[in-house]
Amino acid sequence: MGLFSRIPFRPALRFFSWSVQGGCVMLLFQNYVAEVTMCIGPSMLPTFNIVGDIVVVEHVSRHYRKLDLGDVVVCVSPTNPQKAICKRVLGLPGDFVCVDPTLSERRYITVPPGHIWLQGDNFTNSTDSRKYGPVSLGLLRGRVLCKIWPNFEWIRNGFEEQISQPSMDRELVVER
C-alpha cells in the first residue's frame, strides 16, 4: 500500500478535485456569461449612485447581439487598463456624433469602424470619449443588465423609440 491509497487521503483529494472543478466553472461563467461588479463614481449619475451600485454585467450580447444606442456597458479603461469604466453608448461605428454637447462651439466626428462613442450620464463630471475619443470594441467587457443593490432595477436603454402620431391635417390630405 502506497501513500495515495490511505483512506483519509481520498476524501481530501476528492474535495480538492471538486473545488478546482467548481472554481473553473465559476471562472468560465464570470468571463463568458455574466459577472457581478460594482459601479463607483459620479459619472453615471442619476442612473447609478456615487458610492457604488452592484450591477450584473452580461457578456453574451457582445458576441451574439449588436449594441444599441443608449445601452450601458462596462469596458476596460482606455487610459488605465487596470480599471473598468461604466458608460452609455452614444455612438456606433459610422455614426456622426457631437464631441462635446456641453460646449457652445460644437465639433462633430464620425465614429470609426470597430469603435464606439461612450459618455457618462453626468456630462459635467465624467471622463469619457470626450477626453479619450472613440473606444475600441475590443475593450468592451459586457452590457449592464440590471442593478441588484441597493434597489433592484432593470437597466433600460437610455433612448425611447418615438412613435409619431399623424396629425389630423395629414390624414385629411391622405384621404383626398
State pLDDT tens for residues 120-154: 988 888 888 989 999 999 999 999 999 998 889 88
Q: How many CB atoms lie within 10 A of CB 70?
A: 13
**Catalytic residue chosen out of the listed positions 43, 126, 129, 147:** 43
Residue written as grid cell 451574439: 64
Pick the CATH number of 34-157 from 3.40.50.720, 2.40.110.10, 2.10.109.10, 3.40.640.10: 2.10.109.10
pTM over 0.85: no
Q: Is residue 83 flagged as an active site residue?
A: no
Q: Is 87 assigned a catalytic role?
A: yes
DSSP 22-65: HHHHHHHHHHHTEEEEEE-SGGGTTTS-SS-EEEEEE-SHHHHS
**Options 87, 126, 129, 147, the catalytic residue:** 87
Count of C-beta atoms within a 10 Å radius of residue 128: 22
Query: What is the residue whose three cell numbers read 459610422?
Result: 94
For the stretch 162-171, pLDDT in tens is 444 554 443 3
Contact by Cβ (8 Å): 73, 142: yes
Could you read off the pLDDT of 81-129 as tens digits, one per residue?
999 999 999 999 999 998 888 788 889 999 999 999 999 988 888 888 9
Question: Could you tell me where the DSSP H helices lie in 68-156?
Answer: 129-132
